[in-house]
Structure 1
Amino acid sequence: MDSATAGCLRNPACASQVGQDAILPWLSRAAVRAAEAAAVMRLWEAAEVARVEHVLVECAKRANLEVNDRMLGPGRRTSREICEEQVVDANGRTVKRGVLLGNAKHEAALACVQQELGATDAGRFSLEPRYLRDAKTGRTRWLDPEEVARWLAAGQFFLLTGTIAPDVVLHALGNPLQIQRVYDFKFPCPVDKPAVWSQYPEGSPYAEQWQDDVYRDLLGNDLMPKTVSPNYGVR
């Protein structure tokens, strides 16, 4: 107990002189801690989620147009022929052009989201966070991005086996495990095709399972993961 409090306990009239914080400083500190805890636990309200979804759709549209202009030429749009064309990627693999376009659009869309939300909502959303179900506890873990970066730099890709990485996750402040919304960007090629969830390929621990099912399994069965695409918006 500090001296101000001890003095006030002997002379309660001092309350008007030194204030409530001096009389019961522990209550003041508890109130601050409670306020801090409430801020950390605060989830996204409906109006905020609507604002974010508007940003996601606008970023998807912007990424679609900008990447098409950059990789296909100004004013050109995707067609079935363009999407199916076989090309060689930066790693020397032969892939469909639609795959290259989709990867570039994902990068552009995520950069757009960071630019639009980073200044106002830092700590309340994550881009491509990694989650993994702990084999010992059966509980889902969030992987520190710095640790993941070290694994990738060291070529230890096997450590990421079984991880999932949704594009955008809204969560409580500073707590990527208290998840409220999950979104994946989808860039169908051509763009007028419906945006759909993908199945995990052979060799994956989740082979033949749908992405949204796996997301719910690891992140919460009450979640409803949504796709975001230029033509169809949030679905």
Structure 2
Amino acid sequence: MYPVRMPRTPAHLFLATSLLAACASTPRRTASKDLRLDTETVGRMRHAASVGKGLRSVGPVVTSAVTHRLSDLAPVLLTLLESDNTLGEFEERLVDCARKSERQINDSLFGNRAPTREECGEELEVDGCGAPITRAMLLGQKKHALALQCAREVLEQLWPASFSLEQRYRYYPNAQFVETVSREAEARLIAQGYTRELWRTIKPDIVLHGDHDPRRSALTLDFKFPCPDTNEPRWTRYGENSAYAGSNQGRVYRDALGGEALMISPRTGVTR
């Protein structure tokens, strides 16, 4: 069985997709609250090309602090990965991806320290809908791009079934129906101006499939890079103008794709 290979499309397409989808669903007066997820997605694509040369060495990898939680939080993986040792390595290496990415970006921009709370909260840009983009969001975007590159290598080596990276899904909660949205469909919807069609969509970082059905998840994972790093990682809550108002990412991922949904962050590792 082979990983799902998603077609590579220029970063500006993903930038346009996220901005248009966000503008279609959120009025200007609530943009800063409701556009947080979309802005993260936009920035990841914006910076992917600039950091696309892979991870450099960033010092010794610390794995001793990793508490193996996947066997408890997602026991189905024990069946798919066949042994607890393999599952432990799988978890440690994904957490390492988050830690390396955090360390590399922080080192390159701040030297041997993490950004302060004040630096994290500084507004540096605005997006296409006029919502502020903070330093925390831009840092998270850069770290996501590196972490996903690293995660692809881990998955190709250790995950025995198919997987998807940043696959967009259209989910209808009332009908309990989910479908994949291809890169080509995204481009076509943008070109035709049907941005409302992108409003009812989700885009997890990693979806691990137990078989070859890209609409079903054995486990869904999102990288989280809190800023400052003393903050706890959390799922983004959907605002009142979202198709999933009143819920959060993790709950929608579970409802839509069927598997457990977990976060990976540098300091706390794998959490629900």
1:216 aligns with 2:254: yes
1:115-167 CA-to-partner distances (Å, cap 9, x unmatched) read: 33335648621111122235896422122344335445666433211111111
Contact 2:173/2:256 (CA < 8 Å) preserved in 1? no
Could you say if the C-alpha distance between residues 123 and 159 of structure 1 is closer, same or farther in structure 2, counting changes exceeding 3 Å? farther
Could you say if the C-alpha distance between residues 180 and 46 of structure 1 is closer, same or farther in structure 2, counting changes exceeding 3 Å? farther
Secondary structure of 1:105's counterpart equals: helix
Q: CA RMSD in A?
A: 2.8
Separation (CA, whole Å) in 2 of partners of 1:212 and 1:202: 17
1:169 aligns with 2:207: yes
The one-letter amino acid paired with 2:137 is: V
Contact 2:81/2:159 (CA < 8 Å) preserved in 1? no
1:2-59 CA-to-partner distances (Å, cap 9, x unmatched) read: xxxxxxxxxxxxxxxxxxxxxxxxxxxxxxxxxxxxxxxx944454544332222011
Could you say if the C-alpha distance between residues 194 and 134 of structure 1 is closer, same or farther in structure 2, counting changes exceeding 3 Å? closer
Name structure 1 gaps, 5 residues minimum: 1-41
Partner of 1:60: 98
Could you say if the C-alpha distance between residues 147 and 118 of structure 1 is closer, same or farther in structure 2, counting changes exceeding 3 Å? farther
Could you say if the C-alpha distance between residues 54 and 148 of structure 1 is closer, same or farther in structure 2, counting changes exceeding 3 Å? farther
State how 1:50-199 maps to structure 2 within 5 Å: 50-70=88-108, 72-88=109-125, 94-118=132-156, 121=159, 124-134=162-172, 138-152=176-190, 156-199=194-237
Could you say if the C-alpha distance between residues 179 and 44 of structure 1 is closer, same or farther in structure 2, counting changes exceeding 3 Å? farther
Q: Tell me by how many angstroms 1:178 deviates.
A: 3.2
Q: Which has the larger radius of gyration?
A: 1
Separation (CA, whole Å) in 1 of partners of 2:107 and 2:245: 35
Secondary structure of 2:111's counterpart equals: coil
Could you say if the C-alpha distance between residues 83 and 141 of structure 1 is closer, same or farther in structure 2, counting changes exceeding 3 Å? same
1:68-126 CA-to-partner distances (Å, cap 9, x unmatched) read: 123x2332311111111121257686322111111211111111112333356486211
Please report the TM-score for the alignment, with normalisation by the length of structure 1: 0.70
Partner of 1:226: 262
Could you say if the C-alpha distance between residues 200 and 93 of structure 1 is closer, same or farther in structure 2, counting changes exceeding 3 Å? closer
Contact 1:83/1:98 (CA < 8 Å) preserved in 2? yes
Partner of 1:202: 240
- Matched positions, count: 191
Name structure 2 gaps, 5 residues minimum: 1-78
